[in-house]
Amino acid sequence: MSVRLEREEPLALLVLDRPERLNALDTGSLRTLLAAIRELAADERIRVVILTGAGDRAFAAGADIGEMVEKSPAEALAFAELGQAVCRAIEEAPQPYIAAVNGYALGGGCELALACDIRLASERAVFAQPEVTLGIPPGWGGSQRLPRVVPPGIAGELLYTGRRVGAQEALRIGLVNAVYPAEELLERARELARQIAANGPIAVRLTKAAVRFGLEHGLEAGLAYERQLFAHAFTTGDQREGMRAFLEKRRPTFLGR
Ligand code: HXC
């Protein structure tokens, strides 16, 4: 099994699980991962997803180089499409995704983390887009998402050199939100996930949709979309419940409808 899905309602963990290859992603792993993301997207009981790597060395050391080496251009295109579809499925999922980066996040591994909404790192995390050192450009979105996450000049340096970035530098450049000792990382990710899951589930879903839409379509279109989603929230019981609970000085009980 190259990807494990663990349900801890209202959270789910997706674990890249091929530690003997530092969780390198081959076609089989990508297909399994895509199916799991789609399954979770359809499950309203799951409010937040944590993506992490098995073992204590890697999140994912990239796409499987052994599988890629002899690919034809058409096969390379299909492989890029599959990895991009996985990253897109994460962005389009209703749930926020937290990448818990517990070691190497290289190439395709870094690209997967970049598609997540939030990145947390262990002190052992190492990020890089080393594709150019292998004679290829990024293929799963690194050239597009890295400059949208860190300043473009920093992204350019990392993309053109393939240089590795440790956890503290990743924190400084805004690639990750926080750095924790390795043994604490997953529990900290769960804490953050539970904090998100305690909020109105529809509100969180609408907020993710608004953030993603605005990043892709610009401010004016994003604002128009935001106000439509805001109005939509007023068709839900959660809006009444959240506001009444505040006025009545009690905790809200959100039902997700
Ligand atoms: C296939 C990989 C792999 C990978 C590691 N392994 N990364 N196999 N694809 N991406 C395998 C190694 O071959 C080795 O297998 C085992 O995992 C353990 O790795 P070692 O190299 O022995 O470990 P270590 O010396 O500690 O070095 C760790 C490392 C190094 C720095 C992470 O493995 C490394 O540089 N890996 C490649 C990283 C990379 O370039 N990633 C980007 C790929 S391109 P054996 O059988 O020897 O034990 C990419 C493009 C995405 O991701 C877009 C595609 C369209």
The pTM score is 0.97
- Look at the alpha carbons of 251, 256, 36, 109 in this order and tell me if their dihedral is positive or negative: negative
Q: DSSP secondary-structure letter at 133?
A: G
140 lines ligand 1 (CB under 6 A): yes
Protein residue with least CA distance to atom 26, ligand 1: 57
Q: Determine the residue type at 80.
A: A
The span from the CA of 4 to the CA of 32, in Å, is: 9
| pLDDT tens, residue order, the chain (257 aa) | 699 999 999 999 999 999 999 999 999 999 999 999 999 999 999 999 999 999 999 999 999 999 999 999 999 999 999 999 999 999 999 999 999 999 999 999 999 999 999 999 999 999 999 999 999 999 999 999 999 999 999 999 999 999 999 999 999 999 999 999 999 999 999 999 999 999 999 999 999 999 999 999 999 999 999 999 999 999 999 999 999 999 999 999 999 99
pLDDT digits (tens, 9 = 90+) for 201-235: 999 999 999 999 999 999 999 999 999 999 999 99
Spacing, Cα 67 to ligand 1 middle (Å): 12
CATH class in words for 3-197: alpha beta
Residue nearest to atom 47 of ligand 1 (CA): 21
CATH architecture label of 201-247: Orthogonal Bundle (1.10)
3-class state of residue 43 by DSSP: coil
| Residue % of the chain over a pLDDT of 90 | 100
- pLDDT at residue 77, rounded to an integer: 98
Say how far residue 209 (Cα) sits from the centre of its chain.
14
Please report, as a single letter, which amino acid is at residue 37.
Answer: I
107 close to 129: Cβ distance less than 8 angstroms: yes
Q: Decide: 104 in ligand 1 pocket, CB within 6 A.
A: yes
Which pLDDT does position 1 carry in this prediction?
A: 66
**What is the model's pLDDT at position 215?**
95
For residue 144 the two structure tokens come to 């597009």
- CB of 238 shorter than 6 A to ligand 1: no
Q: How far, in Å, are 4, 15, 136, 181, 224 from residue 184 at the CA level?
A: 20, 16, 35, 5, 40
Pocket test of ligand 1: the residue of 2, 20, 22 to mutate, having most ligand atoms within 8 Å of its CB, is 22
- Residues with Cβ within 8 Å of residue 95, at least 6 apart in sequence: 12, 40, 41, 46, 47, 48, 49, 204, 205, 208
Q: Which helix (H) or strand (E) holds 99?
A: strand 97-101
Which atom of ligand 1 is found nearest the CA of 138? 53
pLDDT 10s digits, 102-111: 999 999 999 9
pLDDT confidence of residue 112: 98
Ligand 1 centroid–CA 1 distance in Å is 19
Cβ of 61 closer than 6 Å to ligand 1, yes or no, is yes
Question: What span, in angstroms and rounded, lies between the C-alpha atoms of 166 and 124?
Answer: 7
Indicate which residues carry an active-site annotation.
Answer: 111, 131
Closest C-alpha residue for ligand 1 atom 33: 61
The residue to mutate among 21, 30, 59, 112, having the most atoms of ligand 1 within 8 angstroms of its beta carbon, is 21
**pLDDT, position 48:** 98
Q: Whose CA is nearest to atom 54 of ligand 1?
A: 139
Q: What is the mean pLDDT of the chain?
A: 97
Domain extents in the chain: 3-197, 201-247
Sort strands 11-16 and 48-53 into parallel, antiparallel or unpaired. parallel
**C-alpha pair distances (Å), 49 with each of 46, 122, 159, 166, 171:** 7, 18, 28, 24, 21
In this predicted structure, what is the pLDDT of residue 195?
Answer: 98
Name the strands in the sheet holding 118-122, side by side, starting at the edge strand that comes first in the sequence: 3-8, 11-16, 48-53, 97-101, 118-122, 178-180
Tell me if 94 CB under 6 Å of ligand 1: no
Interacting residues of 89 by C-beta distance below 8 A, sequence separation 6+: 34, 37, 38, 41
The rounded Å distance from CA 217 to ligand 1 centre is 36
